[in-house]
Structure 1
Amino acid sequence: MPDLLTADRVRIVYDDLGPRAGTPVVLCHGLAAAGEQLAADAAYFAGLGYRVLVPDLRGHGRSGTPAPARVEAFSIPRMAADLTDMLDHAAVGPVHWVGNSLGGILALFLLRHEAGRLRTLATFGTCYRLQLPRWVSGLIPLSYGLAGAPLTARLGARLTTSNRQARPLLEKLLARFDPGVGRLVAANLARYDLRAEAMAARLPILLLRGGRDAAVNAALGPTLEAMRGRPHFTVVELPEGGHCANLDATAAWRAALLGFWQGH
């Protein structure tokens, strides 16, 4: 369980699995989750000979939270910088990057100045553009405050995955998540547009679209319109996949990634 200290004194913890000489892969979770969401997948890919890095983003899982916790400490550029620090700390590159939701957003931002860090990029549950009202970020602490962490976590897990065996894991992650951190991260995610970075990229990009990820699918229109016809861009449909498609369309999700990596 390696860890590092960022420039603003936040401890970032990540897992490093598989042979050191293996082709490097990053599996990066989304908002309110942690690397534990992808632990089984990391072990699977490591068993195939890949070297797999799985971070806990700041304010999530085993990683630290800035003190004081301010909105700028959870900006997209700041959180992305944590991940380049991780790549430097692990002395790897370029990597096959797989990002769920926020984990995909941060990788899209890296395309702006750090594209050489990535060999390929795959996202799931990620929109390349989002335009939401700022007040939406307040819904996270509101739900935890009104319903309490256990009930919020239970409902969140049920809404996130149709896989009943996966729900206890998500419920655990959501129950221990700090809703104050959620508000600060979400405030930075309400309005962003990273389509230009994706359009200008020269590396292969894969969008894994879960058929049951209703909220993201409803917002994917501008992303798909911008990327239509781009030779470096591929969409793979995962009909049984929800927002965390690795948990409810596991075999198809893994097969799509392996085919993508082996093709590039």
Structure 2
Amino acid sequence: MQSSRPDGGGSEMTTCRLPTGVTLEYEVIGDTGAEVVCFVHGAAANMRQFEVQQQRFVPSHRVLRLSLRGHGGSSAVERPRPSDYARATLARDVVALWDELGIASAHVVGNSLGGLVGYELLSLAPGRLRSLTTFGTTAALASPPALRWTMTTLQRLLGSRGMSRLLARTASHDRAVAQLVAEMCRSADARALRLVMHDIATYDYTAFLRQQTLPLLLVRGERDDGINANLGSTLTALAATPRFTLVDLPGTGHFANLERPDAFARVLTRFLVSVDDASAVRSPYRRAVGSKAKDEPVRELQPA
């Protein structure tokens, strides 16, 4: 491990060379005896996405945020194959970093691609997740071949800088958030981004999720139209698990933690307390008995 550069938000980053062959940038702060919360960003973003959440949760938890391979200050594979940026490969990097840091278990919070990495962590190291929170993530997606070709071609033509300019206009209704997303995109490796986007174009975790028993939280952004249109089978699968909660976060899109950080923190805090506090007789985050609708058979809780 070695000291590295500032992350652009005032924090000093650390890097770690992993047995998986890449170097990841990360920051971990907080009491070493506290429960760990591990934040995993979305495609084209990096660890800067969770700087605000790190400050909010460090009084009660040990907080780890990281940049996935090919993102931020983490290294990219020089001559990458598709498998070098597969979801399972990204998850193996996270587990390797946990091993290097002596982290036995963690609450995982993932946005978009980070949520898919969370699903892979459930498969790779199920006993090491205390809970999994996802937002901007659907458990099943089947992009048409024409759309996959269009996205791949667009990324190849625009590169990271061109994509960042596009994201600055489209990533969020909040201009400051869109600008931050664009800045993060500029530091992503263009080849890595193309392979990641190709890998996440088609997948289905719904059958796998039905088998899970750990606490699961899905935060749904009101304006995250692309994801919300594909959430039906995800909600049905998650509702079949014993400890699932769905929370709607009004006024947010794909980057709920950036668009309404205080409300996001309240939702996540209440959920983590409900998991960490073994003495709680009944948590406010319990799956409701019965169903509201065929495609949404769980109670929706609004943030306090």
CA RMSD of aligned residues (A): 1.9
Distance change in 2, residues 1:5/1:148 (3 Å): closer
Q: Secondary structure at the match of 2:19?
A: coil
Amino acid in the other structure paired with 1:237: D
CA distance in 2, matches of 1:230, 1:201: 6
Which residue in the other structure is 2:287 paired with?
A: none
Contact 2:159 2:190 survives alignment (8 Å): no
Name the CA distance, whole Å, in 1 between partners of 2:159 and 2:192: 16
- Deviation per residue, 1:27-79 (Å, 9 max, x gap): 10010000011112112211x23111111000000100112111110111111
Tell me whether 1:23 sits opposite 2:38 in the alignment: no
Q: Comparing 125-134 with 76-85, which one deviates more in the overlay?
A: 125-134
Aligned to 2:230: 219
Deviation at 1:262, TM superposition (A): 0.5
CA distance in 1, matches of 2:34, 2:114: 22
User: Which residue number in structure 1 is paired with residue 257 of structure 2?
Assistant: 246
Aligned residue in 1 for 2:245: 234
Identity %: 34
- After TM superposition, the score normalised by the length of structure 1 is 0.92
Count of residues in Structure 1 that have an aligned counterpart in Structure 2? 263
Single out whichever of 49-58 and 150-159 deviates more from structure 2: 150-159
Could you say which structure has the greater relative contact order, defined with CA pairs below 8 angstroms and 6 or more residues apart? Answer: 1
Per the alignment, in what secondary structure is the counterpart of residue 272 of structure 2?
A: helix
SS at match of 1:166: helix
Query: Could you list the per-position Cα deviations for residues 115-136 of structure 1 after superposition, in whole angstroms to 9, with x for gaps in the alignment?
Result: 1111010000011111113554
Give the secondary structure class of the aligned counterpart of 1:53. strand
Residue deviations 1:171-214 (CA, integer Å, cap 9, x gap): 21122323321111122112211123322112100000000101
Distance 1:152 1:245 in 2: 21
C-alpha distance in 1, partners of 2:216/2:89? 23
In the alignment, what sits opposite 1:33?
Answer: 45
1:164: Cα distance to partner? 2.3
Q: Is residue 11 from structure 1 mapped to residue 23 from structure 2 by the alignment?
A: yes
Separation in 1 of the partners of 2:91 and 2:146?
24
Deviation at 1:151, TM superposition (A): 5.2
Name 2:108's counterpart in structure 1: 97
Q: Could you say which structure has the higher helix fraction?
A: 1
Kindly state the Cα deviation for residue 142 of structure 1 after the two structures are TM-superposed.
3.4
CA contact (8 A) 2:220 2:247 kept: yes
**Letter of the aligned partner of 1:249 in structure 2?**
R
SS at match of 1:200: coil
Letter in 2 for 1:118: L
Other-structure match for 2:60: 49
Cα distance in 2 between the residues matched to 1:7 and 1:97? 22
Partner of 2:99: 88
Which residue does 1:164 correspond to in 2? 175
